[in-house]
Amino acid sequence: MLYELDTLAGLIGHAFSLWWIMIPAIAVGLVAGAVPGFAAHNTIIILLPLTLALDVEVALVFMVALYCASHLGGGVPAILVNIPGTGGAAATTLDGYPMTKKGQAVRALALCFVASVLGGLISAIVTLFALPVLSQVGYYIHSVELVVVMLFGLALIASIAAKDMLKGLIAGAFGLMLGAMGADHIYATPRGTFGFLELFDGVPLVPALIGLFAISEAFVMLEQKTVVSDSDRPTAPPSWGESSREIFNAFRHWWQITWTAILGLVIGVLPGAGASIASFVAYQQSQFFSKTPELFGTGHPQGVIAPESANNGVTTGTLVPLLAIGVPGGSTAAVMMIVLQFHGVPFGPRLFVEQPELAYGVIAAMAVSYILMIPFMFPMVRYMSRVTVISTVYLAPFIVAFTLVGAFVPRGFLFDMSVAVAFGIIGYVARKTGYHVAAILIGVILGPLIERSFLLAMRISNNDPMVLFSSNIGNLLWVLLVLSLALPPATSWWRRRGERTNEIQKGFGDEPR
């Protein structure tokens, strides 16, 4: 049953009255999102004493505002220095950073902010109306479907992130292999840990993220004086007029923002399939439907809009399975779940019966936080783009100093800083030789999840591997997976063949008669 419109209006009005907690949360979230290793869930963990002390409603609003803002902030370093602040912004680097290198940082930031704010707002509004229906999707995704969804996501990343699909697949499979490190799920015995006790729980994700993206980028960055080449370097900061013009121009892409946000929302509802997968799927779909697919990866505006809109569409989606069935859709949702459990808030159908205003109120708060982010866009576009003119001899040491110690934060192990360095070396080799680091990272994230779902499916079926082909949704996803691997080479062959035919026909036409 849909909530009545007047009640929804009341919830949104009430969310606006909590502006005093939202604005600081947005400011912290923007900064946290922009610093690799200080993603939303880490920041919420750091601020846990604060959220536990607050009233449950205020704590929830604080967490969702911070979460939404961190997704916006994550795109900033992805565009300016090729380091995604969050995993969901990894796809943004594909076109965002090339735009920066072409001297279009202001435009890329404007596209990023508008796509993020509008995408997040649209998905929050859609969720408000569709929550009762969306909450049902999680019921249809079981272990078999999860295995295929995750392999599908990885195959998409491998096929689009790397220019060479075989290299992309090797990177993804290497990431999966690294992700399978640690104690096995049945007998709790260590596998592939080199004897390190600290790796028994698997590869720590924050150090892996920091190493693959931040440390490797710092070393690649040092090979030139500034992030942008001398010829593309802006001589003066963008004026307020230019910043505003770029922001208003970005609104012209409203249709792409809308459908990629909804795509992100749907993917976000699937437990385990978070912003990283959503942003890559949106990127691939945008490229597939684009009139200029060959421009993707070279600094194409559509390549910035798709992942940013989708990863902000995910923010509301990940809360749906948490609210509806008590299964967190992502790491931030998991942290929120812990805080809500501390406050004794029920999940699932009981939540909608006992405290419906909380279930709908959290989504309304998300919509309002995106509205409150709008004024932040103008100064951010104007001043953030100046980062690219900072000399790399300053930028690289700062990146290493602050992100390396960020690897220490989640577990408090000095060992994790060494893990970050090890992944930094892997990332450097990958960057310099065309193995996309995003494919490795997503493999590392998905490795343990795929293994868990795979083992569960095998246990349920008494070790019959045909269980992976036993569900209609799963089979449909298998077909999509095969298509996602076969279509890119097929379409590029088709395009080359068309170009050759055109050249031959043109050659005949040019011949003297």
Task: Output DSSP code: residue 183.
Answer: E
Nearest distance, CB of residue 128 and other proteins, angstroms: 32
417 contributes a contact to other proteins by CB under 8 A:
yes
Q: Check: CB of residue 72 under 8 Å from CB of residue 313.
A: no
Distance from C-alpha of 247 to C-alpha of 209, rounded to nearest angstrom: 30
Indicate the helix (H) or strand (E) that contains 182.
strand 182-183
Nearer to other proteins, 91 or 426 (CB): 426
Number of residues that bind other proteins (CB under 8 A): 58
Nearest distance, CB of residue 422 and other proteins, angstroms: 11
Query: How many Cβ atoms are within 10 Å of 358's Cβ, its own excluded?
Result: 18
Residue for token digits 């798709």? Answer: 306
Binder of other proteins out of 405, 476, 482, 486 (CB under 8 A): 405
Query: How many Cβ atoms are within 10 Å of 113's Cβ, its own excluded?
Result: 26
Distance from C-alpha of 71 to C-alpha of 406, rounded to nearest angstrom: 18
Q: Check: CB of residue 176 under 8 Å from CB of residue 192.
A: no
Nearest distance, CB of residue 357 and other proteins, angstroms: 31
Distance from C-alpha of 462 to C-alpha of 160, rounded to nearest angstrom: 36
Nearest distance, CB of residue 285 and other proteins, angstroms: 25
Residue for token digits 């010829």? Answer: 231
With a CB cutoff of 8 Å and minimum separation 6, the contacts of 283 are 91, 94, 160, 296, 303, 306, 307, 310
Site for other proteins in 221-280 (CB under 8 A): 222-223
Binder of other proteins out of 52, 133, 414, 504 (CB under 8 A): 414
426 contributes a contact to other proteins by CB under 8 A:
yes
- Tell me which stretch binds other proteins (CB under 8 A): 191-199, 252-260, 262-270, 480-488: 191-199
Residue for token digits 């068309």? Answer: 498
- Polymer length in residues for the chain: 513
353 contributes a contact to other proteins by CB under 8 A:
no
Nearest distance, CB of residue 181 and other proteins, angstroms: 8
Site for other proteins in 448-477 (CB under 8 A): 451, 454-455, 458, 463
Q: Which two tokens stand for residue 186?
A: 């049945």
Farthest-apart Cα atoms in the chain, separation? 87
CA atoms within 13 A on the CB side of 105: 29
Nearest distance, CB of residue 446 and other proteins, angstroms: 11
> x/- binding map, residues 287-326, to other proteins, per CB under 8 A?
----------------------------------------
146 contributes a contact to other proteins by CB under 8 A:
no
Distance from C-alpha of 299 to C-alpha of 498, rounded to nearest angstrom: 25
Site for other proteins in 196-225 (CB under 8 A): 215, 219-220, 222-223
- Tell me which stretch binds other proteins (CB under 8 A): 98-106, 185-193, 246-254, 303-311: 185-193
Nearest distance, CB of residue 11 and other proteins, angstroms: 31
Site for other proteins in 34-93 (CB under 8 A): 46-47, 49
Binder of other proteins out of 412, 507, 509, 512 (CB under 8 A): 412
Indicate the helix (H) or strand (E) that contains 22.
helix 19-34
Distance from C-alpha of 250 to C-alpha of 107, rounded to nearest angstrom: 8
Binder of other proteins out of 130, 177, 456, 485 (CB under 8 A): 177
Binder of other proteins out of 174, 200, 378, 478 (CB under 8 A): 174
Binder of other proteins out of 34, 112, 134, 396 (CB under 8 A): 396
Distance from C-alpha of 33 to C-alpha of 268, rounded to nearest angstrom: 18
Among 115, 145, 134, 189, residue whose Cα is nearest residue 481: 145
Nearest distance, CB of residue 28 and other proteins, angstroms: 8
Binding site for other proteins (CB under 8 A): 46-47, 49, 166-167, 169-171, 173-174, 176-178, 180-181, 184, 186-187, 189-193, 215, 219-220, 222-223, 393-394, 396-398, 400-402, 404-405, 408-409, 412, 414, 417-418, 421, 426, 429-430, 432-435, 447, 451, 454-455, 458, 463
